[in-house]
Amino acid sequence: MDLFGNTDIEDARLRVSELTALINRYNHEYYMNDRSLVSDYEFDALLRELTELERQYPELKKANSPTQRVGGEVNKTFRQVDHRVPMLSLGNTYSIGEIVDFEARTRKLIGDEQFDYTCELKYDGLAIGLTYKDGMLTQAVTRGNGTVGDDITANARTIATVPLQLQPPFPADFEVRGEVVYPFEAFEEMNRQREIDGDEPFANPRNAASGSLKLQDSRECAKRKLQFCAYFVMGDNLDAPIMQTHFGRLQAAKQMGFKIQPYIKVCRDINEIKAFIDYWDTERWNLPFGIDGIVIKVNQVSLWGKMGLTAKSPRWAIAYKFKAARVSTPLLGVSYQVGRTGVVTPVAKMQPVQLGGTTVQRATLNNADFMASLDIHEGDWLLVEKGGEIIPKIVGIDPEHRTADNQRVHFAEVCPECGTKLVRETGEAGYYCPNQDGCPPQIVGRLEHFVSRKAMRIDNLGSERLRMLYNSGLVRNIADLYDLKKEQLVGLASDEQGASIQSKGADNILQAIEQSKQTPFERVLFALGIRFVGEVGAKKLARYLGDIDTLMNASESELAQIDDVGEKTAAEIFNYFQKPEHRTTVERLRAAGLQMKNTATKVSNTLDGKVFVVSGVFSRFSREEIKNHIEQHGGKVSSSLSTKTSYLLAGERMGPEKLKKAEKLGIPVITEDEYLKQVDS
């Protein structure tokens, strides 16, 4: 660095390429995989450092630098739509000083004209634009990269707060933009259910909102209880007087039927803006959904055009972002939780401390790798943060309280529940208890999974009752459920609540258990809870192999050849059925009358012996539907092209790589129409 704080150009070049790679990677994970590898704060710091270096050394600035992009990459699963007007982002800052500067700059730029500001919440979700023609919702598009987004109209229609038909008066053709958020309560409820169903829980409400809008099946999206928070109304002929201010536009939208959050305020000067920010910095924890800051906009629409834009954001608005709330508190001890699959999660018990509106005394230490990276010692003070996600996160050790001679905390060696020695697979971040069939939380967890909605759907048996059945010794294995008798159930009480099962309740339970015997084979297979066999995998196995006996007797390599079943899953299934107790369970379930055969009707044998690889997007079928169609007509579906492939069934937007490979292997490529002709013949 020289006297003026400038970095040497060679150092700068290195740092620029380092920052570019990091930011690109974080952007990719964030936009394409809905995974946030760093906090917003850290991400923004990196982007700022890069912007600053590019300012100092313009020769290092590349056209494709992440500072030149409005957003992320484009997701290809949905139809791509151009935004009529780009969806810009906002300049943002964590510093009140910069808000003061923004306000002063704005006043100077506007000069003598009368104006004021609006302050509103910065919703932490996913931006979408809704187009209305003659009062009808015609299109909903995600922000995408700011220029092109995904057409998610079908999913947006399922959101209760998105009006489908507006109340007059409304402009003939206009757009309402806003954020889709996942309210905390609904988010937590959904994640609890996902864990029971064996699905990976979402990391935070924003990821969940984004994942929901990109669901292929809008019926699934409808179950998600998303909310739309409108923050922008735009169009060419918005001449009505109410449309001349941003505040007025939102009120107009409210009259048209949009749910407008009441937390918007017209502010006349910097003091009122600061007061609004201060209020929400603490009050934000009491909202039912997440926000990550405050947005300040010039209220008078006529001034927007005059003030103009910078490269990627308007000059008439700015976002103030809240820093995550952070405290330091002494570690009291580490306990270990055992999940359904035996994974052991370390949990830090801490001196209770106030953080972002609630008392925090426990937080996850994730796994052995995370504990090692913290280098956690007895007597340490932990740094705990709460960002928009509500769940407190341990982010480090407070260096001020580190005492040299304290003992390092080592991960538990045996299962806290059953005493079995814990094991760690190579390449895994943490330990698990291998005592699948003898470790109480694993057994109860498997029972919960077995009765859950996506599996056997035995209503009336919640976690509490299952634990009760387990503790009483009546149910130790999923097959025991089918041996239950009314007299065993009546009068049974849980230790904690004391609520006991009455005669009517017992009848209901037994009836639900009886009904579950009709559950299709693919769901029975999923219900068994074999590691790595999810809902989709179970469906594939059931359709491909047809019945439980074929599955139990399949070799590892036969299993691995099935579409979407990898080697790891194949090994897991194979090992599962090597255990005599698992075979006994299956036999008991079979004897009880559960479905052990795929009854999905086979429509014809036209495609017998043919193997298809399916790629691209189809007009008459979804990808899943066309695969089912092939199977119903006797064909097989494989995920990758090989010499065994009979046809490459090509939809629109198929990748060029696949086509090249098919040509090289001499595999005929057929269209959807050609395929249908073949099936009909």
Instruction: List residues near ligand IVH by CB under 6 A.
Output: 88-90, 120-123, 127, 143, 179, 231-232, 295, 314, 317, 319
Is 88 or 667 the residue whose CB approaches ligand IVH more closely? Answer: 88
The distance of closest approach from Cβ of residue 283 to ligand IVH in the complex, given in angstroms and rounded to an integer, is 16
Is 291 or 506 the residue whose CB approaches ligand IVH more closely? Answer: 291
Is 99 or 478 the residue whose CB approaches ligand IVH more closely? Answer: 99
The distance of closest approach from Cβ of residue 253 to ligand IVH in the complex, given in angstroms and rounded to an integer, is 13
Task: Count the helices and strands in the chain (H runs, E runs).
Answer: 24, 20
The distance of closest approach from Cβ of residue 44 to ligand IVH in the complex, given in angstroms and rounded to an integer, is 11
DSSP three-state, residue 132: strand
Is 34 or 522 the residue whose CB approaches ligand IVH more closely? Answer: 34
Whether 139 contacts 153, CB under 8 Å: yes
* b/e map 443-466, b = 16+ CB within 10 Å: bbbbbbbbbbebbbebebbeeebb
CA distances from 681 to 117, 305, 430, 637 (A): 69, 63, 55, 20
SS (H, E, C) 191-231: HHHHHHHCCCCCCCHHHHHHHHHCCCCHHHHHCCCCEEEEE
The distance of closest approach from Cβ of residue 615 to ligand IVH in the complex, given in angstroms and rounded to an integer, is 33
Whether 94 contacts 318, CB under 8 Å: no
The distance of closest approach from Cβ of residue 191 to ligand IVH in the complex, given in angstroms and rounded to an integer, is 23
Is 143 or 284 the residue whose CB approaches ligand IVH more closely? Answer: 143
Backbone dihedral angles phi then psi of residue 47, each to the nearest 5 degrees: -65, -40
Is 187 or 231 the residue whose CB approaches ligand IVH more closely? Answer: 231
The distance of closest approach from Cβ of residue 209 to ligand IVH in the complex, given in angstroms and rounded to an integer, is 11
Distance CA 572, CA 530 (A): 7
CB count, 10 Å around CB of 17?
12
Backbone dihedral angles phi then psi of residue 13, each to the nearest 5 degrees: -60, -45
Query: Within 13 Å, how many C-alpha atoms sit on residue 300's CB side?
Result: 12
CB count, 10 Å around CB of 174?
21
Which helix (H) or strand (E) segment is 353 a member of?
strand 344-355
Query: Measured between alpha carbons, how far apart are the two ends of the chain, in Å?
Result: 76
The distance of closest approach from Cβ of residue 231 to ligand IVH in the complex, given in angstroms and rounded to an integer, is 4
The distance of closest approach from Cβ of residue 519 to ligand IVH in the complex, given in angstroms and rounded to an integer, is 42
Q: What is the DSSP string of 383-441?
A: EEEE-TT-S-EEEEE-GGG--TTPPBPPPPSB-TTT-PBPB--TT-SS-B---TTT-HH
Distance CA 568, CA 560 (A): 8
Distance CA 636, CA 649 (A): 12
Is 170 or 228 the residue whose CB approaches ligand IVH more closely? Answer: 228
Distance CA 349, CA 344 (A): 16
Catalytic option among 108, 122, 486, 504: 122
Is 289 or 612 the residue whose CB approaches ligand IVH more closely? Answer: 289
CA distances from 432 to 437, 573, 582 (A): 13, 18, 20
Residues 6+ apart with CB under 8 A from 86: 70, 146, 147
The distance of closest approach from Cβ of residue 250 to ligand IVH in the complex, given in angstroms and rounded to an integer, is 10
Is 293 or 445 the residue whose CB approaches ligand IVH more closely? Answer: 293
Amino acid at 594: L
Is 296 or 444 the residue whose CB approaches ligand IVH more closely? Answer: 296
Distance CA 600, CA 170 (A): 50
The distance of closest approach from Cβ of residue 352 to ligand IVH in the complex, given in angstroms and rounded to an integer, is 33
Is 122 in the active site?
Answer: yes
Q: Which residue is nearest to ligand IVH (CB)?
A: 127
Q: Position of tokens 């040299």?
A: 404
Q: Which of 399, 293, 414 is nearest to 344 (CA)?
A: 414
Distance CA 529, CA 442 (A): 11
Whether 501 contacts 509, CB under 8 Å: yes
* b/e map 550-581, b = 16+ CB within 10 Å: ebbebeeebbbebbbbeeebbebbbebbeeee
Asked whether the bond before 440 is cis by omega within 30 degrees of 0, the reply is no
The distance of closest approach from Cβ of residue 234 to ligand IVH in the complex, given in angstroms and rounded to an integer, is 9
Q: Position of tokens 């060029």?
A: 656
Is 125 or 537 the residue whose CB approaches ligand IVH more closely? Answer: 125
Q: Which residues are catalytic?
A: 122
